[in-house]
Amino acid sequence: MSQNKNPTIFIAGDSTASSYPIERAPQAGWGQVLHQFFTDDITIANEAASGRSSKSFILEKRLTKINEHIKENDYLFIQFGHNDSKTDERFTDPFTDFKHYLKQYIHVAKKHKATPILLTPVQRRSFDEYGNVNETHGNYPEAILQLGKEENVPVIDLGKRSKVYFENIGTENTKKIFLWLDQGEHSNYQNGLQDNTHFSENGALEVARLIVEGIRDLDLPMGKYITY
């Protein structure tokens, strides 16, 4: 491992943040494109993985890998909630287990004098009849906001930011943000697709932009590396 003195942003999260191979294009996660908003002095280590909850990410030793490489002045972005509500072994209760697992990510970062940053889960493409975004993440966003205060950890309220953004552009335009493809529109999805959770590359860039705006608003030291 090189002794790079410049900061690295580690990302622990789920499919909305993870990276995808060319065979899955135009699908992309925000962590896959985040580097486009920073100078080359910042390294992005995207460890997010599809289908993971705060619990399963740890059980699979993915946090252990981050623990082995994270260093002083680095950052750990933590975004879970999409899969923690699944009624299988990934499930966590928002105000008990979920917080318990998130504290382990926070501990890893602080142990190495890195900065943990919590993110509320990005919204799905779910609207009511009036064009308002439905909150599909239950109590998980509130648990994250609570934990941020309890642990004195900065929070980027990506759920709120994406809600405002999606409502501003409207139900039809959000199809361009998500993985909505007509039949025959893309060679990787010949039968078309209507995915209201995962992003197109364009959508991933827009979500990453919301996160960068959140970094700016928090006045974090990494802000000096932002090019956007």
Q: How far apart are CA 127 and CA 177, in angstroms?
A: 14
126 found inside a domain: yes
Question: Per-residue pLDDT tens for 111-135?
Answer: 999 999 999 999 999 999 999 999 9
157 found inside a domain: yes
Q: How far is CA 11 from CA 98, 133, 192, in A?
A: 18, 26, 30
Instruction: State which amino acid sits at residue 216.
Output: R
228 found inside a domain: no
Domain encompassing residue 169 = 8-223
Would you state the pLDDT for residue 4? 62
3 found inside a domain: no
Percentage of the chain lying above the pLDDT 90 cut: 97
149 found inside a domain: yes
Would you state the pLDDT for residue 3? 53
Q: What is the mean pLDDT of residues 196-217?
A: 98
Q: How far is CA 142 from CA 21, 99, 118, 172, in A?
A: 33, 11, 12, 28
80 found inside a domain: yes
pTM: 0.96
12 found inside a domain: yes
1 found inside a domain: no
- Say if residue 1's pLDDT is above 80: no
The number of domains in the chain is 1
Question: Per-residue pLDDT tens for 166-186?
Answer: 999 999 999 999 999 999 999
Question: Per-residue pLDDT tens for 71-117?
Answer: 999 999 999 999 999 999 999 999 999 999 999 999 999 999 999 99
CATH code for the domain of 25: 3.40.50.1110
Helix boundaries (H) for the chain: 30-33, 54-59, 62-69, 97-111, 140-151, 158-173, 201-218
